[in-house]
Amino acid sequence: MSSSEEEQPKVNRGPAAGPENRRALIAAAREVYAEAGLNAPFSAVAKRAGVGQGSLYRHFPDRTALAVAVYEENVAELERLMEPDTSTLDDLLNRTVNQAMVSIAFVELINGDRHDPRIAALGARYQEVAARLLAREQQAGRAGLHLTIEDVLLATAMLAGEIARNDPDQRLHVATRVRGLFRLAFAPQP
C-alpha cells in the first residue's frame, strides 16, 4: 500500500508544475462549470484540479479570467469548424447547439458582462466567424438579404440561451423547434 491509496500529501513540485497546473485548472473548471454553472465556488475548481488555492489565483486572478480561458477553446474550435468553404449558417446553429448542450456556462459567460474587454475579445472572434458565414450564404442565395450579422448573433445567442434554460432531456426537442423558427426567418424572402 505504498502509492495508490495514499493520501498524497501533495508535495510542492516547484515551478515545473506551472503549465501543467494551468491545464489542469482549465479542465477542472470546464467540469465544474458544466455541473454547477459559472457561479460555482471558485475554490471548487482548485480542489477538483488538485491544485492549491493560491495557484489558482496566480494563474487566473479572477473569475472571468478563468472562464475566458476555458471558453477560449470553444471559440477556437468554432473557428476551426467553420473554416471550410462548405460550412453554412446551419452548421453554426448546429455547433452552437452542441456547445450549449455540453456547457451551459458558455452562454452565461458570453451573456455576462459584455463590457469586460476579455469577453469582448472572445465575442469579436465569434462575430467574425458568423460574419463570414453569413456573407457566403447570402452570396449563394441561401440566406435572405434582409439579414444582418446582428440578426445571426442574436439568433445564436437566443438559441443557446433557450437550450441552457431547459432540462437536459428537453434540449434536443427545444433545439429542433427553435432552429425551425430561425430557418424560416433566415430564408430568402420572396
Partner DNA sequence: AATGAATGAGGCTTCATTCAT
Partner DNA sequence: CATGAATGAAGCCTCATTCAT
Q: Residue 105 Cβ, how far from a second copy at the closest point, in Å?
A: 14
Nearest to 106 by CA among 167, 53, 157, 181: 157
190: partner contacted, choices DNA, a second copy, none (Cβ within 5-8 A by kind): a second copy
Binding residues vs DNA (CB under 7 A): 9-18, 21-22, 39, 41-44, 51-55, 57-59, 62-63
142: partner contacted, choices a second copy, DNA, none (Cβ within 5-8 A by kind): none
- Binding residues for a second copy restricted to 20-79, rule: CB under 8 A: none
Q: DSSP string covering 88-141, please?
A: -HHHHHHHHHHHHHH-HHHHHHHTS-TTSHHHHHHHHHHHHHHHHHHHHHHHTT
Residue 90 binds a second copy (CB under 8 A): no
Q: Which residue has the cell 437566443?
A: 158
Q: How far apart are CA 140 and CA 108, in angstroms?
A: 33
Task: List residues binding a second copy (CB under 8 A).
Answer: 111, 114, 146, 148, 150-151, 154-155, 157-159, 161-162, 165, 167, 174, 177-178, 180-182, 184-185, 187, 189-190
